[in-house]
Amino acid sequence: MQTKIIKLDPNNIDNTALCEAAAIIREGGLVAFPTETVYGLGADALHSEASKKIYAAKGRPSDNPLIVHISSYKDLLSIAKEVPPEAKKLADAFWPGPLTMIVWKNDNVPPETTGGMDTVAVRMPNHPIALRLIAESGCLIAAPSANTSGKPSPTEASHVALDMNGRIPMILDGGPVGIGIESTIIDLTEAKPMILRPGYITKDMLEAVLEKEVEIDPGILASEAACTHPLEAACTHPPGDITGPEASGLKPKAPGMRYKHYAPKADLVLVDGEAGDVVAKINELVQKKQETGQKIGVIATDETKSLYQSDYVVSIGARQDEDAIARHLYKILREFDDLNVDAIYSESFSTPRMGQAIMNRLLKAAGHQVIHV
Ligand code: AMP
Ligand code: MG
């Protein structure tokens, strides 16, 4: 299959191209498109055959449900069995935006879209191309991240092309995304709202709107805690598809959070501690590896970049600029794939607001290997 890549200006969307993309969705085909978080791989969410194509193109396990993207609040009413009052409050505050809500589904949503679950994940993305594509197609669009399963989520159309060329008919290139990590997921089907995946919208922001406590999935917390004990050597969980949380016996509630995600080709190890100690430790580790003939990459910050001696040193941004760190993370992991490095060492980024979301992704990419100094 020939993949058509169409450049679109988000502020001046070409109507002919958009209509062509919308027609593909209506006919049950796949279109990759930008959202404000990462690029999505979209198909008609209410048609099982269309949804199934997403799993096939990504190589995604069929029990990992898709997020349904909508362009107006009434779309939520058309697929939810019941809409809890929290959903309205959160939609008013954060939609369109990087928040996915889990609600009970009705029969309009086929089991293929929800990985067989009785609940459905719904989000209204804050990107003009995504919103226009949904509205023009007249469909609700199921869209996971547009990467091959297990690869970092795409933050530019070129990343999508690398993974999806020849597998899908069309990619809409709206330039680099703004946020760079996937949406926050909040489950509204239990007595207490619970965050199943941390993201740009934080627990504090959600609690401020709901005026009540929001919990964080214990499975997510377990995966953070799994590596916080001080160790000189890397704390390594057994290799395989399931990492971190499984080891503690606590399964994350979102099926997708149980898989090893975002894995770069090279072995990635995080080094956590005071800045000076981290730099010294990484330089020591790099030197040891280089002595065995390996090529090494380092993920640094603007402040520390010049302090490393390694084959490749990339700055993820200024340490104070959390938005830049989130936006650059996946791109850097992909760049190191292209450079064919043997190992990557990264500083850790427990920044005040998005630190939990950033570290959640980075820990997964590292297979939970952390050295504490
Ligand atoms: P992606 O679109 O690639 O970011 O993946 C969607 C994420 O949402 C995965 O982690 C899914 O497991 C999660 N998800 C989607 N639907 C549900 C649901 N009904 N219940 C819990 N998690 C869900
Ligand atoms: Mg994904």
Q: What is the pLDDT of residue 356?
A: 93
Tell me the C-alpha to C-alpha distance, in Å, between residue 128 and each of 14, 30, 70, 124, 320. Answer: 12, 19, 12, 11, 29
Which residue has the CA at smallest separation from atom 5 of ligand 1?
A: 144
C-beta of residue 266 within 8 angstroms of C-beta of residue 341: yes
Which residue has the CA at smallest separation from atom 11 of ligand 1?
A: 256
Q: What is the pLDDT of residue 225?
A: 66
Q: What is the pLDDT of residue 240?
A: 35
For residue 100, the CA-to-ligand 1 centroid distance in Å is: 9
Atom of ligand 1 nearest to the CA of 119: 19
The per-residue pLDDT for range 297-351, each reduced to its tens digit, is 999 999 999 999 999 999 999 999 999 999 999 999 999 999 999 999 999 998 8
Q: What is the pLDDT of residue 160?
A: 98
Q: Which of 58, 76, 101, 185 to mutate to test the pocket of ligand 1 (most atoms within 8 A of CB)?
A: 185
Q: Report the pocket of ligand 1 as residue ranges, CB < 6 Å.
A: 64-65, 67, 102, 114, 117, 119-121, 144-145, 182, 185, 196, 253-257
**Which amino acid makes up residue 294?**
Q
What span, in angstroms and rounded, lies between the C-alpha atoms of 171 and 200?
Answer: 25
Global pTM reads 0.94
Which residue has the CA at smallest separation from atom 7 of ligand 1?
A: 256
C-beta of residue 17 within 8 angstroms of C-beta of residue 108: no
For residue 254, the CA-to-ligand 2 centroid distance in Å is: 12
What span, in angstroms and rounded, lies between the C-alpha atoms of 54 and 370?
Answer: 33
Which residue has the CA at smallest separation from atom 9 of ligand 1?
A: 256
C-beta of residue 368 within 8 angstroms of C-beta of residue 227: yes
Residues with CB under 5 A from ligand 2 (ion): 144-145
For residue 38, the CA-to-ligand 2 centroid distance in Å is: 9
For residue 170, the CA-to-ligand 2 centroid distance in Å is: 19
Q: What is the pLDDT of residue 113?
A: 98
C-beta of residue 113 within 8 angstroms of C-beta of residue 141: no
Atom of ligand 1 nearest to the CA of 121: 16
C-beta of residue 121 within 8 angstroms of C-beta of residue 100: yes
Half-sphere exposure for 304 (CA within 13 Å, toward CB): 26
For residue 253, the CA-to-ligand 1 centroid distance in Å is: 9
The per-residue pLDDT for range 157-169, each reduced to its tens digit, is 999 999 999 999 9
C-beta of residue 124 within 8 angstroms of C-beta of residue 71: yes
Give the start-to-end residue ranges of the domains of the chain: 4-210, 218-372
Q: Which of 51, 64, 118, 120 to mutate to test the pocket of ligand 1 (most atoms within 8 A of CB)?
A: 64
96 upstream amide cis, omega within 30 of 0? yes
The three-state secondary structure class of 133 is: helix
Q: What is the pLDDT of residue 213?
A: 98
Fold of 218-372: Rossmann fold (3.40.50)
* Matching residue, tokens 């069309």: 170
Average pLDDT score, the chain: 92
- CA dihedral of residues 296, 328, 166, 10 (deg, nearest 10): -160
> 3.90.870.10, 3.40.50.720, 3.40.190.10, 3.30.70.260: which CATH number matches 4-210?
3.90.870.10
Residues in the chain, pLDDT under 50? 228-232, 237-245
**Token pair in block for residue 96:** 């369109």
The three-state secondary structure class of 184 is: strand
For residue 101, the CA-to-ligand 1 centroid distance in Å is: 10
Q: What is the pLDDT of residue 368?
A: 86
